[in-house]
A = this chain, B = another copy of it.
Amino acid sequence: MTIPQPYLMFLGDVPDQLAAKTAAGIADWRPEWCVGQLRLAGCRADLGIADLSIPEAKAKGARTLVIGVVNAGGVLPDHWIGVVVAALEAGLDVASGLHTRLGSVSAIAEAAARHGRQLFDVRHSDRHFATGKGVKRSGRRLLTVGTDCSVGKKYTALALEKEMRARGIKADFCATGQTGVFISGRGVAIDAVVADFIAGAVEWLSPAADPDHWDLIEGQGSLFHPSFSGVTMGLLHGAQPDAFVVCHEPTRTRMRGVERALPSIAEVIDLTVRCGQVTNPAIRPLGIAVNTKAYDEAEARRYLDSASRTHGLPATDPIRFGVGVLVDALQAEFP
Contact = CB atoms under 8 A, between A and B. Distances in A.
Interface in A197-246: 197-200, 223-224, 226-235, 237-238
A194 B134 CA distance: 21
Contacts of A258: 133-135
A102 to B, nearest CB: 16
A24 interface: no
B132 A199 contact: no
Contacts of A130: 72-73
A131 B271 CA distance: 23
Contacts of A228: 131, 196, 199
A231 B195 contact: yes
Nearest to A72: B131
A260 interface: yes
Contacts of A260: 134
Nearest to A260: B134
Nearest to A263: B278
A192 interface: yes
Interface string A238-282: 100000000000000000011110000000000100110011000
Nearest to A71: B131
Contacts of A72: 130-131
Given A192-B195, A194-B195, A278 B133 contact: no
A193 interface: yes
Given A72-B130, A274-B274, A278-B224, A199 B230 contact: yes
Contact of A230 (B134, B192, B237): B237
Interface in A172-206: 190-200
A141 interface: no
A226 B190 contact: no
A22 to B, nearest CB: 15
A227 B190 contact: no
5 contacts: A133-B227, A134-B227, A192-B194, A199-B229, A230-B235
Given A134-B259, A224-B278, A271-B275, 5 more contacts: A73-B197, A131-B228, A132-B226, A199-B230, A233-B233
